């Protein structure tokens, strides 16, 4: 039911790497504010950080779905499959921009 360990570790490294980059972006934003940079420059960087965080959320959701729902369907009852799909829809619906 779970992905192989090497795939799991690769996904975790990818997410951690992206989060470290975002952390750097946030520190950069703090520095820009402290240095009294132009508002437009700050907003551009804030939007970049926001987009990067959104991409990480998508990757985490993908990882979640792979970890929790990929494979194993052949050993689950139809009721279990529907329950798992309902749970996945619930999680995904919290992240849909609306």
Domain ranges of the chain: 5-93
CATH number of the domain located at residue range(s) 5-93 in this protein: 1.20.58.1000
Determine phi and psi for 70, rounding to 5 degrees. -80, 135
Per-residue pLDDT in tens (0 to 9) along the chain, 98 residues: 455 678 778 889 999 999 999 999 999 999 999 999 999 999 999 999 999 998 998 888 888 777 766 655 567 777 887 787 788 888 777 877 64
**0.85 exceeded by the pTM?**
no
Rg (the chain; Cα; Å): 18
Q: CB neighbours (10 Å) of residue 88?
A: 15
């Amino acid at each position: 039911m779970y992905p192989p360990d090497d795939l799991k570790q690769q996904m975790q490294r990818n997410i951690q790497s992206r989060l470290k980059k975002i952390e750097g972006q946030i520190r950069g934003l703090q520095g820009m504010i402290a240095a009294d940079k132009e508002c437009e420059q700050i907003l551009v960087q804030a939007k970049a950080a926001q987009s990067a965080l959104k991409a990480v959320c998508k990757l985490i959701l993908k990882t979640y779905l792979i970890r929790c729902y990929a494979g194993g369907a052949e050993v689950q009852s139809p009721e279990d499959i529907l329950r798992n799909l309902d749970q996945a829809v619930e999680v995904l619906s919290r992240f849909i921009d609306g």
